[in-house]
Structure 1
């Protein structure tokens, strides 16, 4: 793909036709069944009936939450722009010493005391005043019995908070902004009138996709060594999104166990149609093929500028994180995989002979052997250019991001919300500060039970004299504070730019004759 066409991928295409067919968003694989009766679609949740009672009672004051206070993007806990504090006050935490993060009372205490609903609302709404960007947004709940409840929507952030406290889901996911509130989709005269209009561009990195090349862990297990694959991926993808496409509002979120998600909130990204999302995902997809396939990197020469830049980013990681920490070719059968990726049979035979004579030779030494034997004339037919290209492809195969591109291709894809609790680890899905990317420790992210304990510990202390009388929010009493503060700063930057875009549109309209 020519470098000059990168920006073309994000140019808005023509709008959808009013009566175009809309594929339904994919249901939860295990918990949702759908059946068609004529032209109507009926949803059935396993283990739970269709819950029309979950539709909240919308009061007039909830629809207009102090909309006059538009200049205070992040008000104190007493202000109510887009989020009112009308829910019952949080009760004291009274958890049993043996309480687990999966216990309903633990989840409820977390939602009451720690979840940053205000900033989540502002992030998805792109303003402090309620708008269709939030009111037409789909939310999906995974309930405590693992049933899946889709197409929930709320005019304001406070109504979302009330419903979360009432339903107490084990987690919830975020979907697209539709042409109408998702709750009302069945009341529309035309089913085709309900279609997605916008959604953040997202990317998913999962360490299970690295199982064939990581040697320290497998499946759901992770350690600091294999987390470096995620660090490498974030560096490469984030740089490409900013430098090649000009995106600015990119937030990376820890998945809670073995991966990370990118949310791109720039308006140009949100309004991209599926065709352009697929093209952008293809631009970033380099490593292709399953665990049993052959060569997984097949790129054209000369290298695309994005790939040349990526190699420059990854070369140090390859030496330390791959050759030393992973030692991927220590075993003879793994070393054979390396030889398969080299272009010259005579060189391969010489390398194999050397390695067979030195059992236990490290991967770093084997990698160095390639150049040393090549320079020593181990092969009379060796093409130096082909060897260099093969080595570049090997570096890419073992370091370049392995993205789940299907997540990125469609607006209708649902993705787990930031700050929910991972059900398998109890850890919070926190944002990752990319300015301190190498310092991020996935195993050090707090669990929900640890956070609730920190609140209790803080409340049991004597406050300093200068802190007496100050209103300290619960998250500020815990190790969740830096993550919420980072999210708040990210949202403030997004809202500032969105306000500027609105002013530009107003100015453009004023110039029309």
Structure 2
């Protein structure tokens, strides 16, 4: 059945996508270099004071990051572009934007308030159109104009960039170097393809419940570090639509971080380095940094269940040999090799137990308990610690896919993840766009006279459309399985806006105090 199209009044990573990169950047602007995968010096985090991690110097702050971007084109030049095969047809996409996409809440999130401000008006949006044309430096002064343009262009997806000092649409009329990024959320990207060498259940774009746990682990470790080590509070985790997750750190202090601080935080969280053939990828100094101690406590249960049982990572000869290469004693390695060769197919759990069992019986002059313990801790971290695409985090200029857009390959909505219930999040149960539109049709058929609901707004919440009697018509998203995700997004925005208002009052009070003091003689 074709889906009806209604106005909003009735409803009001770079590797994550096989077809389109998560964070494309400009390729058509002269004078702007686009490094990708640039070499960065490794930074040892263990035993380093937190404040010492902010001494990361670089001389390429002005450069734009790249992620295999589609070709950027200007308005009116898209007809010659090669059509992009997608699974979501244009009519379905348009119906989603008209009936379900939370434009107003996205505006309030990026605007940091209800009244339009430069935080939104000077924000860059990049649109990927249905024919693969890519439009950068789009901006909108109000939520209504933003919505109208998205409906007019009907993009397959769009990404969010930084807030500039000037309107990014005016970049061609400005002199060289006049358009500068001022702020942007600190972002992180987790992609399951970075775990392909240690997940046995799936590979590439495919995922299942067993390997999704790697993303769950990463979210728990990174979220804990951002909150406990850096003091951030407003962290929005978003499902990428297929095989990953993005973090948006929205605290004012995070949004205003310069690129060198962003690189330092990315370096602080970066641990697993090098390819699968590069030798030991985790080699921490002792005593362990508190962040690593905390991460180990989070990850140990996951190592037992996921690495040893669900993935059975070491059952094959290649990974078994890899495990032996990470152990510190040659005699122990030889004993383990002989035991495992005599019992092909021995489970990963049994092999892990064998390490301690044989270590207790060996009389080696080089093996001691603390050395073996440290090696096993490093192995646990190598096989479970977050593998982040750190390039996404290092530069303010980097674009990232917006929450609530549709992943063109799966049709699923990029919904927020409630970090309080992260272990219950199931990416395979996230609704797709066709399902949602069908749910609206079903609800409308069962309620031909429509329905209203009582308005029960609490202090600090994002307001709903309501009439003078305190009741309002149900919005279309409330008729669907998208409702809990938008409700969570609204509550997240409410907390963020409350802090924004408190901060503005404090700054206003400080300004008044300064003015009063300046009048005294």
* TM-score bucket (shorter structure): 0.7 to 0.9
1:169 aligned residue (151, 155, 164): 155
2:211 is equivalent to residue 226 of structure 1: yes
Query: Is the 1:347–1:378 contact (alpha carbons within 8 Å) kept by the matching residues of 2?
Result: no
> What is the rounded CA distance, in whole Å, between the counterparts of 1:439 and 1:258 in structure 2?
16
3-state SS in 1 of match to 2:205: coil
Residue in 2 that maps onto 1:394:
379
Is residue 120 of structure 2 the alignment partner of residue 152 of structure 1? no
* 1:420 and 2:422 matched: no
Q: Does 1:216 align with 2:186?
A: no
Report the counterpart of residue 239 of structure 2 in structure 1. Answer: 254
When residues 122 and 434 of structure 1 are mapped into structure 2, their CA distance, relative to the original with a 3 A threshold, is same
Structure 2 counterpart of 1:284, from 260, 265, 269: 269
Matches within 5 A, 1:284-323: 284-323=269-308
Of 41, 48, 51, which residue of structure 1 is paired with 2:78?
A: 48
Give the equivalent residue in structure 1 for 2:50.
6
Compute the displacement of 1:380 (Å).
4.5
1:31-42 superposed matches below 5 A: 31-32=70-71
CA offsets, 1:214-241, max 9 Å, x none? 1110000000000000000000000000
Confirm or deny that 1:23 pairs with 2:53: no
Aligned to 1:475: 477
Cα deviation, residue 292, structure 1 = 2.4
Q: In structure 1, what is the equivalent of residue 346 of structure 2?
A: 361
2:104 & 2:167 partners in 1: Cα distance? 20
SS state at 1:511 partner:
helix
CA distance in 1 between partners of 2:112 and 2:502 (Å): 12
Residue 29 (structure 1) shift: 2.9
CA drift of 1:122 comes to 0.4
Rate the CA distance shift 1:194–1:108 in 2: closer, same or farther, 3 A: same
CA distance in 2, matches of 1:488, 1:122: 9
Find the partner of 1:498 among 485, 497, 500.
Answer: 500
Contact residue 239 and residue 246 of structure 2 kept, 8 A:
yes
1:45, 1:368 → 2: CA distance?
Answer: 63
Matches within 5 A, 1:76-475: 101-188=87-174, 190-377=175-362, 379-462=364-447, 467=452, 470-475=472-477
Which residue is 2:37 aligned to?
Answer: none
Q: Which moved more, 1:252-261 or 1:454-463?
A: 454-463
* Contact 1:204–1:259, Cα closer than 8 Å, also in 2: yes
Q: Could you tell me how far apart the structure 2 residues matched to 1:28 and 1:164 are?
A: 23
Tell me the distance in 1 between the aligned counterparts of 2:452 and 2:120: 36
CA RMSD between the two structures: 2.4
Q: 1:25 Cα shift?
A: 3.5
The match for 1:90 is none
Shift of 1:103: 0.5
**Residues 113 and 475 of structure 1 are in contact (CA less than 8 Å); yes or no, is this contact kept in structure 2?**
yes
TM-score with structure 1 length normalisation?
Answer: 0.83
Q: For each residue in 1:216-275, what CA deviation from the matched residue of structure 2 results, as whole angstroms up to 9, or x when unmatched? A: 100000000000000000000000000000000001000000000000000110010110
List runs of 5+ in structure 2 lacking aligned partners.
Answer: 1-44, 81-85, 454-470
Using the TM superposition, give the Cα deviation of residue 102 of structure 1 relative to its aligned residue in structure 2, in angstroms: 1.6
Q: Provide the C-alpha distance between the structure 1 equivalents of 2:209 and 2:365, rounded to a whole number of angstroms.
A: 43
Alpha-carbon distance in structure 1 between the residues aligned to 2:65 and 2:150:
22
| Distance change (3 Å), C-alpha of 1:22 and 1:466 | closer
> CA shift at 1:455, angstroms?
0.3
Q: 1:487 aligned to 481, 486, 489, which one?
A: 489
- C-alpha spacing 1:385/1:149, structure 2 compared with 1 (3 Å): same
Shift of 1:382: 1.4
The answer for the alignment partner of 2:14 in structure 1 is: none
Distance 1:404 1:423, change over 3 A: same
Hey, what does 1:71 align to over in structure 2? Answer: none
Q: Distance in 2 between matches of 1:2 and 1:294?
A: 19
Deviations 1:419-446 (A, max 9, x none): 0000110000000001111110000000
Report the CA distance shift for 1:4/1:344 in structure 2 as closer, same or farther (over 3 A). closer
Change in CA separation of 1:235 and 1:165 when aligned onto 2, cut-off 3 Å: same
**Contact kept in structure 2, 1:45 and 1:147, CA below 8 Å:** no
- Look up the SS of the partner of 2:500 in the other structure: helix
Q: CA separation in 1, counterparts of 2:74 and 2:449?
A: 55
Q: 1:163 to 1:465 in 2, by over 3 A?
A: closer
Work out whether residues 10 and 272 of structure 1, in 8 Å CA contact, stay in contact via their aligned partners in 2: no
| Structure 1 residues 160-194: Cα deviation after superposition (integer angstroms, max 9, x where no partner) | 10000000000000000001010011122x22221
In structure 1, what is the Cα distance between the partners aligned to 2:133 and 2:94?
18
Asked if structure 2 preserves the Cα contact closer than 8 Å seen for 1:350 and 1:378, the reply is no
CA distance in structure 2 between the aligned counterparts of 1:273 and 1:21, rounded to whole angstroms: 12
**Mean alpha-carbon deviation: is it higher for 382-391 or for 225-234?**
382-391
Checking the alignment, whether the CA contact within 8 Å between 2:162 and 2:181 is kept in structure 1 is yes
Name the CA shift for 1:415/1:44 in 2 (closer, same or farther; >3 Å).
same
| C-alpha distance in 2 between matches for 1:148 and 1:365 | 52
d(CA) in 1 for partners of 2:47, 2:363: 38
